[in-house]
Structure 1
Amino acid sequence: MRAYLARVDAVLVQAVIAAALSFAHLHDLASAAGQDGWKAWAYPVSVDLLLVAAWKRLRSGSSRAAGWCWFVVALVASLGANVATAGLLDLADVPAWLRILVAGWPAVAFLGGTLLAHTTPATQPPESASAQLTESERAPAEPQTFSAAPETAGPPAEPEQPAPHVPAALVNHARKLADDHHARTGSPIDPDTLRARLGVAAPLADAIASRL
C-alpha cells in the first residue's frame, strides 16, 4: 500500500510540474505574440482543455480519428510553445506568422472543443427481434403426432400379479394340515379349507396348495 501511494504521489508531482512549466511557456509565448493581460493566461487554459477533451474522446472508444486529430493539434501547440521559449525564438521579435498562429488559435480551439464535446458518437443499431431469439426459439417447432389407441372389445386385461413368496415352514405346516384332513375325511384338502385353516389370503393359499 505504501509503495502504491508513493508511486501515485510521484506521478502527481511530475504531472503538476509538467503542467506548470507548459502553462508558463504558453503564457510567455502568447504574451510575446501581442496577447497581453488576461488573454495571455487564457491561451494555456485553452490548449489544456482541448487536450483533455481529445483524450476523453479517445478513452470513450468512439470517433477515434477525430480524437487523435485534435489531440495532436493541442500537443503540437503545447510542444511548440515549450520549444519556442527554450531560446530558439527571440521573444522580443516574434515573426508575423507566429503572431497569426497565436491570434487564430482561439477559433481553432473552439472548433475542436465543439466537435469533440457535442458530436454524438455513432451507436450500433439495436438488434432485431430475430437476432435476440435464442437457439431454442429459432428452431422450428416439430409437429406433434397423436397415435390412436387400438380399440378393444372388452375391458383392458389386468396385469398379472407376481407369485407370492411361500416360506418353507408354512408349506410344512400346511402339509401336516392336509395329511390330517385326508386322514379324517379320506379326501385331499381343498384350497378354501386350507386357506381357512391357515388364515392366509387366497393367492397365498393357492400357492401353498400347488406345492402339496
Structure 2
Amino acid sequence: MSRSLRLDPVLIQAVIAGALSFAHLHDLAAAAGQDGWKAWAYPVSVDLLLVAAWRRMRTDTENRDAWLWFAIALVASLGANVATAGLLDLTDVPPWLRILVAGWPALAFLGGTLLAHAPAPAVEPDHSEQPQVEPTPDVTVEREPEPAAELPPADPAPASEPPQAALTTPAVSVPPALLDHAQKIANAHQAQTGAPIDTATLRSRLGVTPALADAIALQLA
C-alpha cells in the first residue's frame, strides 16, 4: 500500500537554511586558500560538530563541554554567513582569517574527539519500582497437641471391685494423640536422666490434671 508523501514546512526550511550555510562556508574556505575538495570539507566539518554537540547536549544537559563546542561551531557557521554577505572582500582575505580557516580542522577534530569519548551521564535508579520480593518457601510447622481439657472426675470404683483391678484400669480415658505425645516425653526424659519419668514431671510437662496424669502414667508403665 502506497503512502502519501506529505511535505513538512519546517523540514523544508531546515534544508534551505542548511544549504545556504553550507555554501557560505564553502565560499569562505575557498577564498581563504582552501581550494578543491578541501573547500567542501569545511562546511561538512562545521555541521558535523554542530550535530555532535547537539546530541551530547540532549543526553546530558549539564555537560559544559558540549555547550562550548556547540557555541564554537555555531560561531563558525554564523561568521561565514556574515563574512560572505558583502562585509568582507573575498578577493583579499585578511591573514588572521586565513589562520582561523587553516586551524579549523585541528580544532574540529579535538572537539569531535572529546564529545565522542565523553563519559555517559549516570542514570539514577528509579525508586518508583517496587523491589521484587522472593516468595518465602512453605514451611510446615509441627505443633504439639494441645493439652486435653479437664475431664470430670470419674465415678469411684464400686466397693466390691478388687483393689488390683482399680490399679490396672485407668479411671480416666486418655486420647490416643495425648498418649503418643506423653510417650515421646517419657522416652526423652529417660534418655536424658536414665530413669523413668515420674507422674509429677509428666503432669508438669503435659499441663494436665492429676487424675489424667495418673491415668497416662499407668498406661505408660
- Return the TM-score normalized by structure 2: 0.55
2:80 maps to: 81
Please report how far the alpha carbon of residue 125 of structure 1 lies from its aligned counterpart in structure 2 after TM superposition: 7.8
Offset, 1:117: 1.5
CA drift at 1:66: 2.0
Deviations 1:29-64 (A, max 9, x none): 111111111111110000011011111112223663
Give the Å deviation of 1:20.
1.0
Task: Please say if 1:119 is aligned against 2:138.
Answer: no
The 8 Å contact of residues 60 and 121 in structure 2, kept in 1 or not, is answered as no
Q: Distance in 1 between matches of 2:76 and 2:144?
A: 84
Residue 99 of structure 1 corresponds to 98
The superposition leaves residues 133-183 of structure 1 with CA deviations (integer Å, 9 ceiling, x where unpaired) of 56x78xxxxxx9x89733446568xxxxxxxxxxxxxxxxxxxxxxxxxxx
RMSD of Structure 2 on Structure 1 (CA): 3.3
State the alpha-carbon separation in 2 of the partners of residues 17 and 37 from structure 1: 23
Stretches of structure 1 lacking an aligned partner (at least 5 in a row): 138-143, 157-212
Give structure 2 stretches of 5+ with no counterpart: 135-140, 152-172, 176-221
Structure 1 residue 93, shift from structure 2 partner: 1.5
Shift in alpha-carbon separation, 1:81–1:122, aligned structure 2, 3 A? same
Please say if 1:46 is aligned against 2:45: yes
Q: 1:45 to 1:132 in 2, by over 3 A?
A: same
Q: Larger helix proportion, structure 1 or 2? A: 1
Distance 1:84 1:147 in 2: 97
Structure 1 distance, partners of 2:77, 2:174, is: 100
Tell me how far 1:118 sits from its aligned partner.
2.3
CA contact (8 A) 1:62 1:121 kept: no
| TM-score between the two structures when normalised by the length of structure 1 | 0.57
Q: 2:62, 2:114 → 1: CA distance?
A: 11
The answer to whether the Cα contact below 8 Å between 1:33 and 1:94 also exists between their aligned partners in 2 is yes
What is the count of residue pairs matched by the alignment? 142
Partners of 2:147 and 2:6 in 1: CA distance: 84
